[in-house]
Structure 1
Amino acid sequence: MSKRKSKDNSFSLGECITKVQMILRARFCHHLPGKPFGVEAQYKNLMDLLKQTAVHGESNSVLIVGPRGAGKTMLLKSVLKELMEMKQVKENLLQVHLNGLLQTDDKIALKEVTRQLKLENVVGDKVFGSFAENLAFLLEALKKGNRSSSRPVLFILDEFDLFAHHRNQTLLYNLLDVAQSAQTPLAVVGLTCRLDVLELLEKRVKSRFSHRQIHLLNTFGFKEYVEIFQQQLTLPKEFPDGRFAQEWNQNIQSLCKDKTVEDILQKHFNSSKDFRSLHMLLMLTLSQVTVSNRNIGLTDLLTASRLCTMDSKANVLHGLSVLEFCLIIAMKHLNYIYEGEPFNFEMVYNEFQKFIQRRTHSMHNFEKPVILKAFEHLHQLELIKPMDGASTRTQKEYQLVKLLLDSSQIMDALQKYPHCPTEVQLWASSSLE
């Protein structure tokens, strides 16, 4: 089973499993391009636009708009992958990737542009009067000679709407101005979740934008969702060990026909059919593949599904002390008594004391400062939160708070809570005492 490479180019099982993990993890984590699914029209549209810049030297600007997880980045990467396979494009096209979350102002953005275009030595200690002069100098430095031999540049602006918050929208204005004036072959591709992104642009910026938009929406049905699931787990033809890849792919095909697997996928499809949540499910499933468990099975998918749908707040409850859990139960009762109205520590303390006085057999009473400390710990864990507008000058014992858990979450967590006293369980299950 663990033999080294033989003459027929087969690999040891351990090597195959390692290679599978590398290929599929890269696919799930980095949104590596696969065959675009259900977005053929958008793919062709974007390909034509970028080809005009990369091959024919025409400047363009376009926005890719869609909700998070709709596959905007995957679409762009798959187009670029095909584009870069063309020899002329591969040798000439320059790419600059900016992100509105990282490049928070124009100065940082310009430094990043300089770094990615490898022009730090050209810029040196030069001082520029304006952003436009600096950008113009950078683009001029890319030219080989005349305008026809200028290298095309592709600017990719992720979180495009955040660049609209930069002062005077200088970066957007200058990039779109260069694209419109055709000084240098330049394409600006913005990725955003906001449908109203054009409303954020200043008049002068909007007038220089081409108003091309490519919209991505997850319009595929469950049948297509299962096909995407299968496609994402299928090993490529180039996999080093052909026999292992064939066995793996056959197993994935039979897995997709299983009724229980379909039920699991239907549940995830109904809650969220975006690519990120699917990739999370696949990543957790893949993590269980080892030398002793060489193929993905139904049990692996069930375990991954449970982990994906696990209630994180209920999990936090499992790590609480008995005292902290008692305070949560006291708040649960206060929610019932006051019909969801906010409460303060003193009210919780009094509710807890009523329980202690009635159930003195197994529960130890605590000093009030200790109970207050436990209450503050619940606040730190974000299981309770102060009400908006609550005065910071109010004593902490009297500050109004709200419980961020519902009754079902508390009861579910209580069922799994280790060594919970019977009295506490009975107190939690009583609707009103």
Structure 2
Amino acid sequence: MKKTLITLACTLALGACAPFAPTKPSIPDLTVSGLRFIGEQRLPWRQQFQGTMVGGLSGIDYDAAHDEWVMISDDRSQFNPARYYRAKLAYDAQSFKSVQLTGVGIFLQPDGTTYPSREESKRSNGVVPDLETVRVDPRDGSIWYGSEGDVALSLDPFIRRAAPDGRYQYTLPLPPLFTVSKEHKSGPRNNQSFEGLSFTPDGRTLWVALEGPLYQDGPEPTPSQGAVNRITHFTRDGTVLGQYAYPLEAIPATPGKGKYADNGISEILSLSERRMLVMERSGVQADDGSYKDYVRIYEIDTDGATDVQHLPTLKDASYQLVKKRLVLDVGDLKLPIVDNLEGMAFGPRLANGHASLVLISDDNFSKTQVTQLLLFDVLP
């Protein structure tokens, strides 16, 4: 029944009924001295679009070939099957005018079925998705996306490629380091796995970032101390070109008594072969149960950092961290709200010749949160 929700790419005016023309990377070897805020747009809570509920938008990217944006939902097939949306964003260097949804694509598993919900997975062999990041392939327009997996269900994280209509094409081979363990002794922590994905500007290779530290690499960050997690450089066939330790900041505020707080990488965006932007997002719960989000964007450089791919653990190991520089603390913008920002992508160049940058928030389908898109001018 759920297959009837699949919207084919040709009905989205994507031109997928004809061969895709390769696209050129639009932002080669970018330099970033700062970010100038231009404006904000929001989507309505639980907006209905083409038979689906819009929300949980945890990743975004720009499709230059069609002048459209793709936005992935982390709905674990609870409301509708795992999917991504297409949209038109109207803006210039002075204002962010509008966001218009244009299409939806339902992701399919290798056997051609939709991804199941957690409840449905008890009756099937499907993989419950937790999709957190999305990129348009600069070579052929295909859609790459990442799932965090599920430790309790023994589901490993994955990076997959799909056709624009959502049909499965490929899974990136991963080293055993990313295999989950119910014993919580090794592998990714639950809900702290693949959050960041980015092609290098030439499109030949890609970077993948964990949200938080592997169990064997040490504890999670706290309000008093940071942590380390790994960012991995892959070829398209899964060969690891390098892996580097990233220093996570401490949680920037103290949660209420017995309440939750975290900090981790929510997205990465390549600037060159070795440099990238990293978005750290922290959620801190107050005594009344409400959350405040802290979002900071850093530029990092892996040049000179130790390749740690052969280190089974980072505890007590000797290595050089990546270099890191704060570009923007989103809290300094004094916006009415900084929500759960999880996606980050470059868009078309502005009239002044600068790159544009868009951030998007995951509202968790919650009425107390918002789906916000923030637009920036990238200052060279």
TM-score (norm 1): 0.20
Which of these two proteins has the greater Rg computed from alpha carbons?
1
Larger proportion of strand: 2
Higher helix share: 1
